Structure 1
Amino acid sequence: MKLLFIFFLLFTVALTSGIPLGPTPDMPAESTSLTLISNITLKYPEEIAVDPSETFYLTGTADGYVYKVMLDTNAVSVLLTPKDFNPDYFTEFTDEEVAAKCTGDQTLTHILEPVCGRVLGIKFYASGNKVYIVNSYFGIFEYKFRNNKFEAVFEQTGVFLNDVYRIGDNIYYTNSHTSIQRYAVVSVVLDPNPIGQGSFNVYNKDTKEHTTLIDGLFFANGITLSSDKKFFYISETDAARVVKYEIATGETSYLVEDLPVLTDNIYLEISEECEERDDNDEECENDGTLLVPGYYRVADLDDVLRDFSAMAEFLTQNFYTVVIPTFKSWIKPVGTICEIDEATGDITKVIFSKDFTFLLAASAHKLSDNNYITGSVFYPKVFRFKLNE
């Protein structure tokens, strides 16, 4: 099935000469029923993991730290530092010296990130009271709150690791690119290779083996599990779609294509009925809601993504004076959150506001009472807001 999926990608490339994207969507209507509850200044937040007490743990992608935030007080504390992920390098550094090095000039990501790391994916598991954490440079790690034990699940360098999901002894993860590291993320988005370099993989903790389940993905990103626990949903950023992977058969399809956003992390809100059935170990239907945050598509970026030769030509220009500023101008203005019906793949809601900048949404999590938390890797804020319905 994996080979069939690759052939499908090749066929698509042959037809389009670029990443398959439909017409660039119009800007969404602004959501007028939003109430801002709070905003917390954090270093360009990436993914959010919420525990049952609604404390949340947040990967701070600008400096290689992981933070803990108390929702009732907005108090922020450090859970993990670059020294935890890269102890050999920082063995003689004090905490202050680590912070001084890793919270420096963010234009030097090509120097800082391979040393300080870049923490992306994080998932909380009530069973065992622990989180799994992806450091895009060093591997995947486990942190147990019960005894504050922190250890590597596996170490891996030279690739662009992104998100993680655990089932039993299997650790599922995405690799956004096989050879380009995270600091060159612009080159990952604008990769003129006609075959995507991202993949969806599994690591078995018992056998210590890695297996690629899907390759040829255009910027493999966030992962979440379906309501019935039979499928994975994988965010394919450049292609603006969500891939659906059946665990039992390896069959690959799409839950939704041609989204109005270049997708980032994704999160599934299961229905109340499903929660009740899950408690009784009864089979659940796929009737949840998928939260899909991302960067709202703009015509100039879409045009380049649709044409591999245009991407290659664009990347021949001066990277720091032309490529990066132009790329930032494409993604800076707008972003949003889509809600997707898990059963149909239909977009049921688009959340967008100009009043506060969750516009560049990298992550979204829905709490009780229509409260949402969202953060962005391009804006140093985490926003909590209420959707008034």
Structure 2
Amino acid sequence: MKLLFIFFLLFTIALTDGIPLGPTPDMPAESSDITVISKLALSYPEEIAVDPTQTFYLTGTADGYVYKVLLDTNEVSILLTPKDFNPEYFTDFTDEEVAEYCNGNQSLTHILEPVCGRVLGIKFYASGNKVYIVNSYFGIYEYKFRNNKFKSIFEQTGVFLNDVYRIGDKLYYTNTHTSVQRYAVISVVLDPSPIGQGTFNVFDMDTKEHTTLIDGLFFSNGITLSSDKKFFYISETDGARIVKYEIATGETSYLVEDLPVLTDNIYLEKSEECEEREDNDEDCTNDGTLLAPGYYRVEGLDDVLRDFTAMAEFLTQDFYTVVVPTFKSWIKPVGTICEIDEATGTITKVIFSSDFKFLLAASAHKLSDNEYITGSVFYPAVFRFIVNE
């Protein structure tokens, strides 16, 4: 029976096209003209939540901590540690012992990550008085700044949770993979299944029920809400595209496909008109700008993603001597952020750095017209810079 299943899977893969990527877009030959304001060493930051006075960085791939950073002074303090997320395991550990253990040998990620956790998504709610936090291994949590209270909203293990967004009594969240955990992220990116294993879900905090809204996503990642609050935008990393989900009807479409990056998180920058309308309790139109940071698309990785048979064959090679180094060679150490017109899905700007002004953008926020802050999930730094135009 097992051999029959394997034969059926390989036969299905052979008859199925790969992830629907278009031609690899040409990237700018020259870097954008960027002036770096500050570069702050942090442990591979994943997502950044910015309020009017301070910034909270999440380290998604190094140690399982949440850091608070003051923008003006770059003063760093610890908001949450692995002990907060996994108190039973770390009961008898001192803070120093937790830090030493969770910053251990990175070749042991399959052991360390499920214990220390990895914090990925963070979103403000109710004017920044609280945040919702996704720990990829343990579930989703709430932190209230007013009284420093931290609690679990729901537990979910054995999957790859990623991002979160709250509306009313509902938490919307992405699950990047339903059975493979974050430490095997290369296997998630290069999953040879012809059906995507990612989902977009909602958790009702009153009834405690989970509902899957979209399944079959290829590496479901970041979430943001549209200006008019009628749609969600979801990053589909492997597909280099942004999914558009209508809340009222459940209809799904693509806002933009064939991005020049495999996009990670996604953020909405509202227009001044929209902010004025909201101040007057009026509805916005979809006239904002989406920021889609991501990883430079290269032909080698694109070719494999387009062909499930090639992907399956590639994964039969030795994982540590062939697959891992080849994969790392495909993730070029350049920084790329796409700006997208929310109304049309048109890419209006590509901020590009091949000269290490910023690297491997996993997150991006616009602090002013030309000032940005970005974190790099594969490089231990947060960059604040100005694009000179």
Q: Do Structure 1 and Structure 2 share a fold, with TM-score over 0.5?
A: yes
Following superposition, the deviation at residue 370 of structure 1 comes to 2.0
Following superposition, the deviation at residue 296 of structure 1 comes to 1.0
CA distance in 2, matches of 1:28, 1:15: 35
1:10 aligned residue: none
Residues 42-191 of structure 1 correspond to what in structure 2 (within 5 A)?
42-53=42-53, 55-61=54-60, 62-127=62-127, 129-191=129-191
1:251 aligned residue: 251
SS of match in other structure, 1:352:
strand
Following superposition, the deviation at residue 16 of structure 1 comes to 6.2
Q: Deviations over 1:257-301 (max 9, x none)?
A: 010100100000000000010112211100000000000110000
Q: Does residue 203 of structure 2 align to residue 200 of structure 1? A: no
2:306 aligned residue: 306
Q: Deviations over 1:184-234 (max 9, x none)?
A: 000000000000000000000000000000000000000000000000000
Following superposition, the deviation at residue 128 of structure 1 comes to 6.1
2:40 aligned residue: 40
CA distance in 2, matches of 1:226, 1:323: 38
Distance 1:261-1:199 versus aligned 2 partners, 3 A rule? same
Following superposition, the deviation at residue 28 of structure 1 comes to 1.7
Q: Deviations over 1:145-168 (max 9, x none)?
A: 100000011110000000000001
State the 4+ residue runs in structure 1 displaced beyond 6 angstroms.
13-16
SS of match in other structure, 2:361:
coil
CA distance in 2, matches of 1:334, 1:371: 18
> Is the CA contact (8 Å cut-off) linking 2:45 and 2:380 kept in structure 1?
yes
SS of match in other structure, 2:386:
strand
Q: Deviations over 1:125-148 (max 9, x none)?
A: 243601110000000000001000
2:6 aligned residue: none
What amino acid is the match of 1:289? T
Distance 1:305-1:82 versus aligned 2 partners, 3 A rule? same
SS of match in other structure, 2:210:
strand
Residues 326-345 of structure 1 correspond to what in structure 2 (within 5 A)?
326-345=326-345
Distance 1:126-1:30 versus aligned 2 partners, 3 A rule? farther
CA distance in 2, matches of 1:306, 1:32: 29
Q: Deviations over 1:329-382 (max 9, x none)?
A: 101343400000000000000001223252311000111242100011110010
1:211 aligned residue: 211
Following superposition, the deviation at residue 26 of structure 1 comes to 1.9
2:232 aligned residue: 232
SS of match in other structure, 1:64:
coil
What amino acid is the match of 1:36? V
Q: Deviations over 1:37-95 (max 9, x none)?
A: 00000000000000121x11011121000000001101111100000000010111110
> Is the CA contact (8 Å cut-off) linking 1:16 and 1:306 kept in structure 2?
no
1:5 aligned residue: none
> Is the CA contact (8 Å cut-off) linking 1:52 and 1:126 kept in structure 2?
no
1:6 aligned residue: none
SS of match in other structure, 2:245:
strand
Following superposition, the deviation at residue 251 of structure 1 comes to 0.4
What amino acid is the match of 1:56? T
> Is the CA contact (8 Å cut-off) linking 1:270 and 1:289 kept in structure 2?
yes
2:220 aligned residue: 220
CA distance in 2, matches of 1:224, 1:15: 35
Following superposition, the deviation at residue 176 of structure 1 comes to 0.2
CA distance in 2, matches of 1:345, 1:151: 38
What amino acid is the match of 1:245? Y
Q: Does residue 316 of structure 2 align to residue 316 of structure 1? A: yes
What amino acid is the match of 2:56? Y
**More deviation in 241-250 or 32-41?**
32-41
Following superposition, the deviation at residue 108 of structure 1 comes to 1.3
**More deviation in 29-38 or 271-280?**
29-38
What amino acid is the match of 1:154? F
Gap regions ≥5 residues in structure 2: 1-12
Q: Give the TM-score taking structure 2 as reference length.
A: 0.94
RMSD of aligned C-alpha atoms? 1.3
Following superposition, the deviation at residue 30 of structure 1 comes to 2.8
Following superposition, the deviation at residue 33 of structure 1 comes to 2.6
CA distance in 2, matches of 1:372, 1:319: 37
1:17 aligned residue: 17
> Is the CA contact (8 Å cut-off) linking 1:51 and 1:126 kept in structure 2?
no
Following superposition, the deviation at residue 27 of structure 1 comes to 2.4
2:278 aligned residue: 278
Aligned residue-pair number: 376
